[in-house]
Structure formats: structure tokens, C-alpha cells
Amino acid sequence: MEGCTTGALTLADWSAIAQIVLAATALSALVVGVAQIVVTRSSSRQELTYNYTHRFSSPELLPYHEKTGELFKPAHIGADERYQDFLSMGRADQLAALVVPNLFEEMGGMYNQGLLDKRITKEFFGDAAKEVWNSGSWLIERWRATDPTYFEQWQLMLEDMGLR
């Protein structure tokens, strides 16, 4: 240190030390702030994902699961006949049967935007989303022939999960 012959620190030395300590404190605060943001985002993703698990499992949704199951159950008729049967359903029944597939599409959009916890989503919804996709492929493929964006988010989610 310049100007230090007796071992005592000068005012300039203390100023330099203070600047180093201040910079280290600011850096520490930045690291802690980033860590808090990461934890908060992760917590938000988990909370949003658990909101979907609650919706999917709620007793109010059971009749819609049943309607979707009826629509997509295995049949010994071709896709064209199945589609005609779908069209002959009343509008309310059509809409009710599509609540679950539309929930998967909505969830897929959130998942693909990184807004849901990927591990929880795959563990809770992965197999069900794949099963409904496969059993409803006769309808999904028909609609996607005219508009390839139908249920696109759901498909991308399944692909990201390694289920399609």
C-alpha cells in the first residue's frame, strides 16, 4: 500500500476496502434475488399445476369424463360412422364430451409455455392425456385434416413428455 509506512491504513485504503465490500454485498444481494425469483416461479408453476389436478379430479368433472369415455370408447365401426354418430348427438352432449379433451389442450398450452411443473404434469396427467388422445384419434385426425392446429398444444405436450 502506498503511503503506508507504519502499517496503518490510510483513508484511501479504507475507501477502497469499502468499495470492495459494497460490491460484494451488491453481488450477494443480486444472487439472493435471482434465487428468490427462481423459487417463486417454481412455486407458481407447482401451484398452477395442482390447480389443474384439482379441476381434473373434481366431482363436478366426473360426468364430463364419462361423456368423453362414451364418445371415445372402442367401437367396431369405422371413423366415418363414428363421426356421424358424434354429429347426431345433441349440441350439449357434444360439448360435454369435449370438455376433457379441451382441458388437455388448455393444459398443453400452459405446459408448452413453461407455466406448469413438467414433472408433476407428466406424472399426474401423462398417461390419461395419452389414453384420451389415442382413443379419440379418429375425431382428432378428422378435424386436423381441415385445420392442423386443432389440439396442437396437447400433441406438443405429449411429444415433450415422450408419450407420442
pLDDT in tens, 72-119: 998 889 999 999 999 999 999 999 999 999 999 999 999 999 999 999
Q: In the chain, which residue ranges form alpha helices assigned H by DSSP? A: 11-57, 62-72, 79-88, 91-97, 99-112, 118-135, 137-146, 152-160
151: left (phi over 0), alpha (psi -120 to 50) or beta: left
The whole model's pTM is what?
A: 0.77
- Residues (pLDDT < 50) of the chain are 1, 4
pLDDT of amino acid 2: 54
